[in-house]
Amino acid sequence: MRRDVLTGEMLPKKSLVRIVRDQTGAISIDPSGKKSGRGAYVSLDPEAVKTAKDQKTIDRAFDQTVAPEFYDELFAYVDHQKARQELFGSQQ
């Protein structure tokens, strides 16, 4: 179980996407969940990502400014993964 930084809910790790800040301070999506660095988990809820962009939730989670483009990239990734999950089931 991991805590979703956008909603605060505890969810199974498999139903979340990991984002990571590496040693250089770059923030990226970590589909494998194995990149080194400080990680945070985000649920597959595109609406929560939109809200997070407005409230700068990920900025606070990593204590640094996050580019608006990252939120757009995260929204596209989460939306795509949610669609895959609905189409193929949670085993993908």
Looking up residue 21, the CATH number of its domain turns out to be 3.30.1230.10
Nearest CA among 35, 37, 41 for reference residue 13:
41
Domain residues for the domain of 48 are 2-88
Alpha-carbon gap, residue 42 to 46, rounded angstroms? 10
pLDDT digits (tens, 9 = 90+) for 16-44: 999 999 999 999 999 999 999 999 999 99
pLDDT, one tens digit per residue, over 39-84 is: 999 999 999 999 999 999 999 999 999 999 999 999 999 999 999 9
| Cα gap 42→79, rounded to integer Å | 12
**Spatial contact of 55 and 14, defined as CB atoms under 8 Å apart:** no
Q: How many separate domains does the chain show?
A: 1
Q: Is the dihedral of CA 83, 85, 87, 92 positive or negative?
A: positive
pLDDT above 90 (res 92): no
